[in-house]
Amino acid sequence: MRFVDILEKKRDGHELTGEEIEFFIEGYTNGTIPDYQASALLMAIYFQGMTAEEQGHLVMAMVNSGDTIDLSQIEGIKVDKHSTGGVGDTTTLILVPLVAACGVPVAKMSGRGLGHTGGTLDKLEAIEGFQIELSEQAFIDQVNTLKAAVIGQSGNLTPADKKIYALRDVTATVDSIPLIASSIMSKKIAAGADAIVLDVKVGEGAFMKTVEQAEQLAHAMVNIGEAVGRQTMAVISNMSEPLGEAIGNALEIEEAIATLKGEGPEDLTELCYVLGSKMIVAAKKASSFEEARHMLKTVIEDGSALQLFKEMIEAQGGDGSIIDNPKRLPQATYTYEVFAPQDGYIEKIIANDIGVAAMLLGAGRATKEDEIDMAVGLRLHKKIGDVVKKGESLVTIYSNTEEITTTREKIERAIQISATKVEKQPLIFETIGEA
């Protein structure tokens, strides 16, 4: 097989075979296909797209480029959840114990923050002693006994994706729906998921800026899942404003605890109900979303979801007493308020800029090497559409320095107030995949 023939075929809009796609992935991963030829193929895919069959072949070739996690020792259907990323997204922390308390095994591999704010692993490390490194056997044993464990990615998963993603980053080919869909799905499948629930974010603070783009991405991922025999469902949710109220690592642990007690922010709670119901149906623990939602409500009300969070924290070496006393989490030295400059209605809370403001305090990393300050962050007191009075607090800043001028300015610019009434934004635009 000559790679130049594959390039020509894709360039002219023809469908590649499974063998041709495997030839590309194997050759690029082991270095026999150079960057310049791989770049040409990525650009041809960018313009010509890929059929569902091609995307299925691409995903499985990427999965087979490295290690895969074997979760077959865990009883039951293993459901994974993936968010395409946003600001203040605390859902994973909540969903793991919540869905596990309904009897669904959740073997979660999570990442660190790539954007402005911390990832799930960073947040968990706000809990003193919490170990994110378990051996594969300890991970599996914990899921069998407790139904829940969260660890860092181990092993050499999807090296082809790592290499291709780095190349896409410098060849203007990140923004391709088949390439994004294959990249995300390959990682989920390599991590051992039998079923996958996707939260595709749309809006200012997300990768996908329009609902139409988000729908295309969601359908592409659901089709890949079906093509490779993994039940896949998706939700398209709003990320034009941050989710929930808390942004910052310890603050989001506290928010997760509140939500597991039934006292969380409305939007975050509702999204957890919607995603959690899908996870339960995908795991075949309920036959309808209504039944699943009722199960979720029950484990929040009877305290078993919160209890499971505590047990999971303690099983992984963490200080479980934070559940009853969240003030034992790292606390910032200073708090400051950002006051509304006028009466009106909240028109915009630009999620990306709020994320940057939290990062400037130390809640996220500007570069890979940065250390995260677990205690700092923001708490938002308003949502888009809320009425606001001049002088009311919009945001509380939790800081470990007194120098917060740039953070404050960033927040003031990110929140816009209108004199005329503003409609509340929908939380969920669409759900894909039926019960």
- The answer for residues whose C-beta is within 8 angstroms of residue 380's C-beta and 6 or more apart is 88, 242, 245, 246, 247, 349, 354, 394, 395
Q: Does 364 bind Ca ion (CB under 5 A)?
A: no
Q: Which of 80, 161, 267, 373 is catalytic?
A: 161
Q: Which of 168, 230, 310, 365 is catalytic?
A: 168
State which H helix or E strand residue 199 sits in.
strand 195-202
| Closer to Ca ion by Cβ: residue 21 or 274 | 274
| Residue 224 binding target from Ca ion, ligand URA, none, CB below 5 to 8 Å by type | none
Q: Is the dihedral of CA 23, 27, 33, 36 positive or negative?
A: positive
DSSP assignment string, 240-263:
SS-SSSEESHHHHHHHHHHHHTT-
| Closer to ligand URA by Cβ: residue 165 or 336 | 165
Q: Does 205 bind Ca ion (CB under 5 A)?
A: no
Look at residues 176, 178, 196 and name the one whose alpha carbon lies nearest to residue 187: 196
For 434, the 3-state DSSP assignment is coil
Radius of gyration of the chain (CA): 22
- Please, are residues 88 and 243 in contact by the beta-carbon 8 Å criterion? yes
Q: Does 180 bind ligand URA (CB under 6 A)?
A: yes
Min dist CB 84 to Ca ion, Å, is: 16
Measured CA distances, 335 to 350, 382, 395 (Å): 22, 17, 10
- The answer for residues whose C-beta is within 8 angstroms of residue 140's C-beta and 6 or more apart is 71, 73, 74, 107
| Closer to ligand URA by Cβ: residue 184 or 256 | 184
- Residue 168 annotated to the active site: yes
Q: Is the dihedral of CA 240, 49, 218, 90 positive or negative?
A: negative
Angstrom distance (rounded) from CA 183 to CA 177: 10
Identified binder of Ca ion from the candidate list 244, 320, 355, 362, rule CB under 5 A? 244
Cross-strand pairs, 79:
195
- Residue 161 annotated to the active site: yes
Measured CA distances, 63 to 73, 161, 189, 190, 218 (Å): 20, 9, 7, 5, 20
Q: Does 88 bind Ca ion (CB under 5 A)?
A: yes
| Residue 183 binding target from ligand URA, Ca ion, none, CB below 5 to 8 Å by type | ligand URA
| Closer to ligand URA by Cβ: residue 42 or 358 | 42
Per CB under 5 A, the segment of 184-192, 243-251, 292-300, 381-389 that binds Ca ion is 243-251
- Residue 389 annotated to the active site: no
DSSP assignment string, 220-246:
HHHHHHHHTT-EEEEEEEE-SS-SSSE
Count residues contacting ligand URA (CB under 6 A)? 5
Let me know the angle formed at the C-alpha of 32 by 30 and 38, rounded to the nearest 5 degrees: 95
Angstrom distance (rounded) from CA 55 to CA 58: 5
Q: Which of 83, 182, 183, 186 is catalytic?
A: 183
Q: Does 184 bind ligand URA (CB under 6 A)?
A: yes
| Residue 260 binding target from Ca ion, ligand URA, none, CB below 5 to 8 Å by type | none
- Please, are residues 272 and 91 in contact by the beta-carbon 8 Å criterion? yes
- Residue 82 annotated to the active site: yes
| Residue 306 binding target from Ca ion, ligand URA, none, CB below 5 to 8 Å by type | none
Measured CA distances, 227 to 230, 284, 333, 397 (Å): 8, 20, 52, 47
Identified binder of Ca ion from the candidate list 48, 55, 90, 238, rule CB under 5 A? 90
Min dist CB 164 to ligand URA, Å, is: 9
Min dist CB 312 to Ca ion, Å, is: 20
Min dist CB 195 to ligand URA, Å, is: 19
Min dist CB 337 to ligand URA, Å, is: 35
| Residue 246 binding target from Ca ion, ligand URA, none, CB below 5 to 8 Å by type | Ca ion
Measured at CB, which residue is nearest to Ca ion? 244
- Residue 288 annotated to the active site: no
Identified binder of ligand URA from the candidate list 183, 240, 259, 269, rule CB under 6 A? 183
| Residue 244 binding target from ligand URA, Ca ion, none, CB below 5 to 8 Å by type | Ca ion
Min dist CB 79 to Ca ion, Å, is: 22
- Please, are residues 44 and 50 in contact by the beta-carbon 8 Å criterion? no
Angstrom distance (rounded) from CA 285 to CA 279: 9
Q: Does 193 bind ligand URA (CB under 6 A)?
A: no
Residue with tokens 């087979």: 64
Q: Does 45 bind ligand URA (CB under 6 A)?
A: no
Q: Which of 10, 57, 78, 187 is catalytic?
A: 187
x/- contact string, 159-178, with ligand URA (CB under 6 A)?
------x-------------
Angstrom distance (rounded) from CA 133 to CA 151: 6
Identified binder of Ca ion from the candidate list 181, 218, 246, 384, rule CB under 5 A? 246
Q: List residues near Ca ion by CB under 5 A.
A: 88, 90, 244, 246
Positions in the binding site for ligand URA (CB under 6 A):
165, 179-180, 183-184
The catalytic residues are: 82, 161, 168, 183, 187
